[in-house]
Structure 1
Amino acid sequence: MSDSHIPLPERLRPRDLSEIIGQDHLLGVQAPLRQMIDQGHLPSIIFWGPPGVGKTTISLLLAQAVDRPFVSLSALNTGVKELRDLIAQGGDLLTPVVFIDEIHRFNKTQQDALLSAVEKGKITLIGATTENPSFEVNNALLSRCQVYTLNALNEDAIRTLLDKALQQDDFLKQRYIQIEEYEAFFQFSAGDARKALNLLDLIASTFEPELENKIDNAIVVKVAQQNIARYDKSGEQHYDLVSAFIKSIRGSDPDATLYWMARMLKGGEDPVFIARRMLIAASEDIGNSNPNALLLAGECFRSVQAVGMPECRIILGQCAVYLATSAKSNSTYLAINKAMELADKTSNLPVPLHLRNAPTKLMKEQGYGVDYLYPHHYPEHFVMQEYLPPELKGSILYESARNKREVEGERLQQRRWQQEQQQQ
């Protein structure tokens, strides 16, 4: 295969840590990770960052820097058996560096197998994830790894990357390319080095060799719109599809809900991400009009993590239809937002004495807990009592929606209002 048929990102893949662009906070001369490598020490690591910032390449170069064997796996096609077979081969004089791309897609059983291997020193793990590892990697495994954040490339880094490509790549040098405008590259790459280089490669392939060729924003936009895939998990289309999916649930349209979900799954979206969005919708858009929605969404989230694709599409579909066809209410969503806003403005207000805890004699002598009325000592387990600071008396944060479940809960509020009127 000629070099021109090898993708430009692969042709320019760095061969030394010093060639990495845009991650100086980790790999600069005085950066912590670089210092550890210079001392011959490589801990287990989780790299968290967006696509196209060098997670795989950096992992390979780290292994090479400490002269260790490197094994690359993908969480998408590695089962527990393959993982255990690999681990069983570890523990020799040279502990292998096992790189796992999209480690957030590993279920609990797979992550537990990794935990045991890391604890026993059979492997040095480097996991890569685009998702927050605090949510997606179990705490025991996370505590045994150093977590490093990789940044999306800024405009200066993208410019440096493109200029380096023009100077070093033989195929590009034959085209005598000059980039006159970089703004469209910045826009379409969105900090992703792989996107920027692929876009440059596409444009260069339309140019004739041995001629001077100039690239401006118009050319970049034209080529990008013709060639960039319609679904990109990290780009604008990702957010558009998620938005359409959530709005279809909110609008009680199960058909549209399933359609947009299918579009995301077909595009390679992480099913756990979809399940997490439904968890939020179950509370934000359904709330106490149907509390079972949050329970079902929570179980869906756990089940998707345990099962994975393709079977988890069934669980996702069941939950999505349930949410779309459920009664809707955003009353508690609005209420907590009001409460947060009020708390920001009044954080200096003290807790009323009768509501304070009084674990010591001194506190009791100072009036803590005095005059508190215990509701269970009164008929129907209710007694009129002020629970807000005096300055906020009468503040209304929660207003129930007009649905059966919330109207029933409104009766207690009405009784509080009636008793308050009688006392005035």
Structure 2
Amino acid sequence: MRPTTLDNYFGQSHLLAADKPLRIALQSGHPHSMIFWGPPGVGKTTLARLIAHYADAQFISISAVLSGVKEIRQAVTEAKQHRQIYQQSTILFVDEVHRFNKSQQDAFLPYIEDGTFIFVGATTENPSFELNNALLSRARVYLLKNLGEDELLDLLNLALADKKCGLGELKLLIAKEDKQHLVIAADGDARKLLNLLEIAADLAESNGVNQLINTEVITQVVSNSSRRFDKGGDIFYDQISAFHKSVRGSSPDGALYWMSRMIEAGCDPLTIARRLLAIASEDIGNADPRAMQVALNAWDAFERLGAAEGNRAIAQAAVYCALAPKSNAVYTAFKAAMACVKESGSLEVPEHLRNAPTQLMQSLGYGEEYRYSHDESEAYSAGQSYLPPELATSNAQVEFYQPQPRGLEIKLKTKLEYLKSLDLAAKNN
């Protein structure tokens, strides 16, 4: 079912619509080196083959999973010989190019430069992280997207009707709603759709004239189909990011949706529990300190109860954190303190804050002017400083922590303002 012309290519209209530069370049037979970045089953290999077809070029394909420098050299030799004998260019297609290490990727560079071949790489991983800058600078990156449901349905109908390359000879009958179930189960992946259809065709029952794929068969075929999830890959980071941003944005529905997407695709629920614990500190903080305990309790419940009940505990924590008042004041304060330490260097500990366990230390004045707060009114040593004097500017200490007017931090802000008033009164006295 691999298309042989751009007109039969499904998806990627953002790149291959009639007026798009890439389509114009391909149809004119003047391709350039490029990287196709996208999930499985969206047509990266097919598009590379079409490039060779329209450019009237030799097509050489290697896989970074199975190949090394030896195969790269062999492809270079073949491309040079082909150009010399047939005066024809070569498209070198490298599947899973991100699997090559730096030295292997560098091996392509001189041959891209001198035109030995036109380089086309395919990757499911973010090229910014996985490919060398030198290679990226010589190839244009194109993002390929999941196929839409309408595009997958068109492909499904074509596969059912095509007698030469598809399943048309079988005269398969399948209800409209069952086709939709297959399309949804394919999850944007054309290869997966055709695989599911082929399995369903093998299970079809004959009614004498046609082969019938009924709802029971479709249910059986799609029952083990899962959503896309790649632990440690772009899809993982995109989905965990969407979950985090949903909780931060106070959307319990978004949090539950992305949590369910990840769990349904096979993500370890404790990954979500760990992220919730980070959210409780980073995005909720002292606006609701209970959020951290709720997240910890959910983690503990999962380990005690297992997945079935434990997932619900994590979902409960996700909803709680989503609806909790938000403050990143502690997160911001800690970053500011770390930046201050890096900038100001190793400032001396003020003498009144130093420990003085020996007579020598006491004779040096260590701890001499320290005021024990429990002996002071309201257990607060008004006016006493706890930072190096070098961090005071314009007679005021630096203030890393700035409570937000939300949740418990409203009260914390009020208390800080009260303590500052005590400091000011002590200073004036």
2:155 counterpart residue number: 161
Give 1:420 deviation, angstroms.
Answer: 7.9
2:199 counterpart residue number: 202
Superposed, 1:382-401 pairs within 5 Å as 382-385=390-393, 395-396=402-403
Counterpart Cα distance in 2 of 1:80 and 1:38: 32
Judged with a 3 Å threshold, the aligned counterparts in structure 2 of structure 1 residues 65 and 419 are, in CA distance, closer, same or farther, namely farther
2:28 counterpart residue number: 39
Superposed, 1:25-424 pairs within 5 Å as 25-91=14-80, 92=83, 93-169=87-163, 171-181=167-177, 182-209=179-206, 210-212=208-210, 215=213, 219-225=217-223, 228=225, 233=230, 240-244=265-269, 246=271, 335=328, 339=332, 380=388, 382-385=390-393, 395-396=402-403, 423=427
Counterpart Cα distance in 2 of 1:387 and 1:154: 63
Partner deviation per Cα, 1:344-392 (whole Å, 9 max, x = no partner): xxxxxxxxxxx9xxxxxxxxxxxxxxxxx9996996574334999x9x9
The answer to whether the 8 A contact 2:64-2:94 is kept is yes
Relative to the length of structure 1, the TM-score reads: 0.56
CA root-mean-square deviation: 4.4
2:2 counterpart residue number: 13
The answer to whether the 8 A contact 1:72-1:100 is kept is yes
1:292 counterpart residue number: none
Secondary structure of the structure 2 residue equivalent to 1:177: strand
The answer to whether the 8 A contact 1:172-1:204 is kept is no
2:313 counterpart residue number: none
Secondary structure of the structure 2 residue equivalent to 1:51: coil
Using the aligned pairs only, state the percent identity.
35
Counterpart Cα distance in 1 of 2:70 and 2:14: 37
Counterpart Cα distance in 2 of 1:133 and 1:421: 60
Give 1:207 deviation, angstroms.
Answer: 1.6
Query: Which protein, 1 or 2, shows the higher relative CO under an 8 Å CA cutoff with sep ≥ 6?
Result: 1
Secondary structure of the structure 2 residue equivalent to 1:162: helix
The answer to whether the 8 A contact 1:25-1:31 is kept is yes
Amino acid at match of 1:139: N
Amino acid at match of 1:175: K
Partner deviation per Cα, 1:18-42 (whole Å, 9 max, x = no partner): 2101122222222211101222201
Structure 1, unaligned runs of 5 or more: 1-11, 252-279, 285-333, 341-354, 356-372, 398-415
Partner deviation per Cα, 1:300-356 (whole Å, 9 max, x = no partner): xxxxxxxxxxxxxxxxxxxxxxxxxxxxxxxxxx8589649xxxxxxxxxxxxxx9x
The answer to whether the 8 A contact 1:232-1:238 is kept is no
Judged with a 3 Å threshold, the aligned counterparts in structure 2 of structure 1 residues 229 and 374 are, in CA distance, closer, same or farther, namely closer
The answer to whether the 8 A contact 1:184-1:220 is kept is yes
Amino acid at match of 2:402: S
Give 1:152 deviation, angstroms.
Answer: 0.5
Higher-Rg member (1/2): 2
Judged with a 3 Å threshold, the aligned counterparts in structure 2 of structure 1 residues 385 and 180 are, in CA distance, closer, same or farther, namely same
Secondary structure of the structure 2 residue equivalent to 1:90: helix
> How many residues matched?
285
Give 1:179 deviation, angstroms.
Answer: 2.9
Structure 2, unaligned runs of 5 or more: 237-260, 283-326, 334-339, 351-387, 405-419
Give 1:200 deviation, angstroms.
Answer: 1.1
Counterpart Cα distance in 2 of 1:417 and 1:375: 30
Relative to the length of structure 2, the TM-score reads: 0.55
The answer to whether the 8 A contact 1:177-1:215 is kept is yes
Judged with a 3 Å threshold, the aligned counterparts in structure 2 of structure 1 residues 336 and 47 are, in CA distance, closer, same or farther, namely farther
Give 1:174 deviation, angstroms.
Answer: 2.4
Counterpart Cα distance in 2 of 1:154 and 1:128: 20
